[in-house]
Amino acid sequence: MPYLARGDNSGGFREVLKVLAEKGLDERDLNIIWRLENSCSVINAVSEGLGVSVISWTQSSKYVKAGLVGFVPFDTETVSYLKLIDHWRAPIPLSMHSLNS
């Protein structure tokens, strides 16, 4: 599944890396197709169906509530404010469930 990432210096992306590490994964396990400089750009790209991403609830909530993107909360030991968002607003595909187990 295509993944839309924030830039390497993003605090949010560092949080994503922590969650991945907790699950025994790292950045190389993501199919990163694009790195964007801000969350709004990522959310807009997701809403256009270009891929999925992990974004803070604070930044994505109005888009989720408007029905522009869907989200899946993470089951993680890492204290985080991040949510997986997708264009399809549907249950996440099985290939992405490894992040939640």
Count of beta carbons in the 10 Å neighbourhood of residue 37 = 11
At 85, is the secondary structure helix, strand, or coil? strand
Residue 87 near residue 46 (C-beta atoms within 8 A): yes
Domains identified in the chain, total number: 1
The CATH number that applies at residue 63 is 3.40.190.10
Continuous segment of H or E residues that includes residue 50 = none
Residue 27's CB is within 10 A of a number of other CB atoms, namely 14
pLDDT tens-digit profile of 32-55?
A: 999 998 989 999 999 999 999 988
Q: Determine the average pLDDT of the residues in 2-23.
A: 85
Range of the domain at 28: 2-100
β-strands 53-56, 82-86 pairing:
antiparallel
pTM higher than the cut 0.75: no
